[in-house]
Amino acid sequence: MIKDYFDEISHGLARESERMRKDFATHRQSAGTNREAIVCKLLRQHILQSVGIETGLVLSASGDLSAQSDIILVDKNSNAALHGDRPIPIWLVESVYGVIEVKTQFTPSTLTDSVAKCKKFKALPRNFADSCGRQAIKDNLFCVWSFESPADLNVAKENIAKEVDGLSINERPDFIVVPGSFLWRGGRYFDLTRNGQPGSSHYNQRLREVGGDVEKLLDPSEEMMGLGENSLFTFLYWINSWLYAAGPRRPDLVKYYPSMTFGSII
């Protein structure tokens, strides 16, 4: 029953994407916006209810802003946006679990655009205020969602390999998913799920297994899976598991104030 349920959702996404193509053939921007809405609706129905599915910009204490994100996953129980009543709100980076870039087609050019946004987002400095020791993960996810991909998945794999070549583990996307086709995982997500947090018992065990060579912990540093109809279910399962483990998150708001005296005690 569960497999049939998610298979039908995957087929439905393809049908809705094709409907957008036909109905908005002369206005691709509107079609793209509608596709983002389709993904948002799906996530709101299947992501942990404590996670907000939002949009806007992401701000760090350094004053740097990310590119506008199609979808932002936030800890909505502990945070609110700046300019929350505006069409494009601003979220403090520490309140963000991750962002999702939505593309119609998976091509070298759309991949290049997504990776550039990923690098900018991942480079934002973070200043977390630990929620009473409940925050387990201080990383942020960057995901790429595409409605279409090359028929030959080896072509997609080669395009990804070329695009991330030379990038550190901290600069790479964590997920690339095309429902009905494939799921790729890499970046810090893949590192954490394989090796655990540095200093943890699992990490130390993995380190012993590779003779203490940290570089070998990152080999391989990514995984490409042609899962067909199971791509969507697997993506949702893994991202929900990560969100559950990440715990609540809050920014250290003092870091966002300039270095100056607040005032005086009277």
Do 97 and 124 share a domain, yes or no?
yes
Cis before 220? omega within 30: yes
Do 49 and 117 share a domain, yes or no?
yes
Could you report the per-residue pLDDT of 143-191, keeping only the tens digit for each? 999 999 999 999 999 999 999 999 999 999 999 999 999 999 999 999 9
Could you report the per-residue pLDDT of 192-215, keeping only the tens digit for each? 999 998 888 999 999 999 999 988
Do 126 and 229 share a domain, yes or no?
yes
Do 206 and 251 share a domain, yes or no?
no
In the Cβ-directed half-sphere of 266, how many Cα atoms lie within 13 Å?
1
Average pLDDT, the chain: 92
Do 150 and 209 share a domain, yes or no?
no
Expressed in angstroms, the distance from the first to the final Cα of the chain is 67
Do 73 and 201 share a domain, yes or no?
no
Do 109 and 59 share a domain, yes or no?
yes
Buried b (16+ CB within 10 A) or exposed e, 66-78: beebbbbbbbeee
Q: Which residues contact 100 (CB under 8 A, 6 or more apart)?
A: 39, 43, 69, 70, 71, 72, 73, 143, 144, 145
Do 200 and 100 share a domain, yes or no?
no
pLDDT of residue 30: 76
**Average pLDDT over every residue of 85-99:** 95
Do 10 and 142 share a domain, yes or no?
yes
Do 21 and 100 share a domain, yes or no?
yes
Taking the C-alpha atoms of residue 243 and residue 140, their distance in angstroms, rounded to an integer, is: 10
Considering the domain boundaries, does residue 35 fall inside one? yes
Considering the domain boundaries, does residue 150 fall inside one? yes
Considering the domain boundaries, does residue 260 fall inside one? no
Buried b (16+ CB within 10 A) or exposed e, 189-225: bbbbebbbeeeeeebeebbeeeeeeeeebbeebbebe
Considering the domain boundaries, does residue 202 fall inside one? yes
Query: What's the pLDDT band for 14 if we cut at 50, 70, 90?
Result: confident
Considering the domain boundaries, does residue 75 fall inside one? yes
Considering the domain boundaries, does residue 263 fall inside one? no
Residue range(s) defining the domain that contains residue 202:
190-221
Taking residue 32's Cβ as centre, other Cβ atoms within 10 Å add up to: 17
Do 147 and 210 share a domain, yes or no?
no
Six-digit token string for 261: 């005296």
Tally of domains within the chain? 2
Considering the domain boundaries, does residue 266 fall inside one? no
Considering the domain boundaries, does residue 158 fall inside one? yes
Do 55 and 171 share a domain, yes or no?
yes
